[in-house]
Structure 1
Amino acid sequence: MIWLTWRQHRLMVALVGAVLIGFATWFLLLGNGMRDWLGRAELVDCIGIGIDCGEWTSSLSMLSNLQGTLLPVLPALIGAFLGAPMLTREIEQRTFRYAWTQGISREHWLFSKVFLLGGAVAVLSTVFSAAYVWYFQPAVPEWSWFEAFGMVLPSFPATCVFGFALGVLAGTVTKHLLVGMALSLVGFLAVFLPVVAWLRPHYMSPQRLTADEYYRGPRGWVTESVYRSPEGEEFDIFGALRASGVPHAPNSVGSAEMDQLSAAGYTRILLVQPGSRFWTFQFVDAGVFLVLGAACIALTCWLLRRKAI
């Protein structure tokens, strides 16, 4: 089964490997070049902000754009193009019946494929993350690891494994390749976005610090900002402006309005996840996605045993 699985899926594994290893190589070349040509302070600013960094500006701008578009959905693409076709092609072409007549159980057939291809996804995504960790490391003292949370291991490899497992489940449910790929993409975003936006910031209760306290100490992850009135009530920025009577434009706030809020006795309070919690958050996040991935494979196994194919 291992050799057969490899023969069936080697081209797609090679494509996934080319993408992830290609990005890893780019991170290593970019990081090495910047380390050779920039001083430490310049290196920190360039990696953290990526603005006006000489010959590196264009590469850093491209990387910044990719971090906001392609890189977060790489796990979804892995699920759609590697996970969804894994069983769906055999179901559509009816070749799975031949495998089951050779003394191979449905579970053996499934797990042989899942462990080989899922293991390849885990290894390749770990190489990707390790290269990004090395690239980003000089910026950590000023920017904290939280700025690179989604690209760092073990969270990123675990997310890729979940994307792959969800693709396998989507293909098994639909039994049609294109429909399975579409369901895999939509399903991944339906799970991933709420985890990132709502669950991840609350793995632990945040610390409450004034802005002055935060900027005097080590950097962390600011998950929310509120304004406390002299009476102890808390508002968002626009609520504070209305309560204090400070005039402002409908959808914008400038430094002048901020200064007037401060003069009116309002204090900016930051809800912060300290940098010391980063690795705890990483392992919790990885655990969430690995549990979800295991649930997808367990449900796929149940469907293969119970559902007529």
Structure 2
Amino acid sequence: MTSLTHAPRAEKSPDVLEPARRGAGFAGLAWLTWRQHRLALFSSLVLAAVLTGWMAYLASDMTSIYHQCHDTLCPPGSPQLETLNAPFGPVDIANKLLLAVQYLPVLIGMFLGVPLLAREYEQRTLLLAWSQDVSPVRWLWTKIVLIGLFVAALTAALSAVADHLAHVLHDVVGGSMFDGTLFLDSGMLPLANGVSWFAIGVALGAAIRRVLPAVMAVITGFIGLLLTVQWRYPTLMTPVSRFSEFSDAANHDHTASTNALVIKAGIQVGPGHVVNLFDASGHALSYAQVQHACPNFLSLSGKASLSCLVRNHFQQYVEYQPGSRIPEFHLILASGYLGLGVLALAAVWLLVRRASLSAG
């Protein structure tokens, strides 16, 4: 009797076999998503946990010092202020952590967004993935929803703690919540930004189809958008403007609160050159008028020159954003970030529909 010889079966990748074993439903796609992205997901979880815990600890530490100073700015020369401002002290580290949170969305786009489709294109595994029982569109949206919810949960936790730390830092150092990192890391903006850059990363990966070029595109786009936001956000709404006497300006009354963002203020006085200095009636002053009211103005000390300006009821023209507008600014920026994310997802959907019959 002749024995039958069976040809060896071609082995399939575990990433392809497991969805078939588990079924082509949601559970199978969820397992496949974890299998393919587990390293990036686990690393993101660890990084978020470290940042969240560190920021919570710093916020608690600085709050304790703030209470020691009777819930106000610690006086100059006090041991509490020296502790706060020491090299690698609470304030220094808090600023660095908030800066890290500000740049976290670019990492989300690079390591969670881009590989979702770009790696499939680059390794030419999309034909195999899309030839299973699950349609390309369902495959895409299931993976986007699963990883997107993961990103949203992590960035929501980070946003809440970063917002708390930003307010504590503002309490102990003063300034305005409208300023730089404090503004961009509060109001849950990291959540909106993180989700947006995840979607943008997926879209760039789908469009470019190569991981490294898509990553470079994410970095370039993120830096460009960040610089644009930092440049334009102070004027997203028409600033409040008014004449302010120097006694008022010295006491910061024109800002109504320490959280105001001053856009235009200050004076310039030189021979034949006076900028933004007005008399009590609001008329621009000439250099001769300044000299008449305040002889030898340029040689006066800062305190003496200010005293002369106050005595003559001189004014400057001030433009600023009141601190009460901060929630509106956060809403405008968050809406903009989420709008970009929605546009990116629409682009991904169109790209996948057109490429549904071809992996490359």
TM-score tier, shorter chain, comes to 0.7 to 0.9
Deviation (angstroms), 1:223: 4.3
Alpha carbons of structure 1 residues 40 and 52: separation in structure 2 relative to 1, 3 Å: closer
Deviation (angstroms), 1:270: 3.1
Match status 1:107 vs 2:144: no
For 2:234, the equivalent position in structure 1 comes to: 201
Q: Answer with 95-104 or 177-186: which moved more.
A: 95-104
User: Which one of 199, 219, 223 corresponds to residue 165 of structure 1?
Assistant: 199
For 2:148, the equivalent position in structure 1 comes to: 118
For 1:105 and 1:37, the matched residues in 2 are separated by: 58
For 2:54, the equivalent position in structure 1 comes to: 26
For 1:54, the equivalent position in structure 2 comes to: 83
What is the identity, as a one-letter code, of the residue corresponding to 2:223? L
Match status 1:215 vs 2:247: no
Deviation (angstroms), 1:138: 4.3
Deviation (angstroms), 1:172: 1.4
User: Which one of 243, 249, 263 corresponds to residue 224 of structure 1?
Assistant: 263
Deviation (angstroms), 1:72: 2.1
For 1:179 and 1:29, the matched residues in 2 are separated by: 38
Deviation (angstroms), 1:9: 1.0
Q: Deviations over 1:255-285 (max 9, x none)?
A: 4897499489863333222222221221221
Q: Counterpart of 1:195 in 2: which secondary structure?
A: helix
Alpha carbons of structure 1 residues 233 and 82: separation in structure 2 relative to 1, 3 Å: farther
What is the identity, as a one-letter code, of the residue corresponding to 1:95? T
Match status 1:296 vs 2:296: no
For 2:195 and 2:157, the matched residues in 1 are separated by: 14
Output the TM-score relative to the length of structure 2: 0.70
Alpha carbons of structure 1 residues 45 and 125: separation in structure 2 relative to 1, 3 Å: farther
Match status 1:272 vs 2:272: no
For 1:186 and 1:84, the matched residues in 2 are separated by: 14
Q: Answer with 2-11 or 69-78: which moved more.
A: 69-78
For 2:321 and 2:194, the matched residues in 1 are separated by: 25
CA contact (8 A) 1:43 1:138 kept: no
Q: Deviations over 1:111-133 (max 9, x none)?
A: 11211111111111111111122
For 1:160 and 1:97, the matched residues in 2 are separated by: 30
Q: Answer with 1-10 or 29-38: which moved more.
A: 29-38
* Structure 2 unaligned residues grouped into runs of 5+: 1-28, 75-79, 268-275, 292-296
For 1:258 and 1:20, the matched residues in 2 are separated by: 52
Deviation (angstroms), 1:32: 1.7
Deviation (angstroms), 1:184: 0.7
* Structure 1 unaligned residues grouped into runs of 5+: 235-239, 249-253
Identity of aligned residues (%): 27
Deviation (angstroms), 1:83: 0.9
CA contact (8 A) 1:220 1:272 kept: no
User: Which one of 329, 337, 342 corresponds to residue 281 of structure 1?
Assistant: 329
CA-atom RMSD, angstroms?
3.4
Output the TM-score relative to the length of structure 1: 0.81
For 1:9, the equivalent position in structure 2 comes to: 37
For 1:161 and 1:255, the matched residues in 2 are separated by: 49
Q: Deviations over 1:182-226 (max 9, x none)?
A: 11110122223212311x222322112437267133223324123
What is the identity, as a one-letter code, of the residue corresponding to 1:304? V
Paired residue total: 293
What is the identity, as a one-letter code, of the residue corresponding to 2:91? L
Deviation (angstroms), 1:229: 3.1
For 1:196 and 1:174, the matched residues in 2 are separated by: 28
Deviation (angstroms), 1:53: 3.7
CA contact (8 A) 1:79 1:163 kept: yes
Deviation (angstroms), 1:292: 0.4
For 2:343 and 2:135, the matched residues in 1 are separated by: 20
CA contact (8 A) 2:176 2:261 kept: no
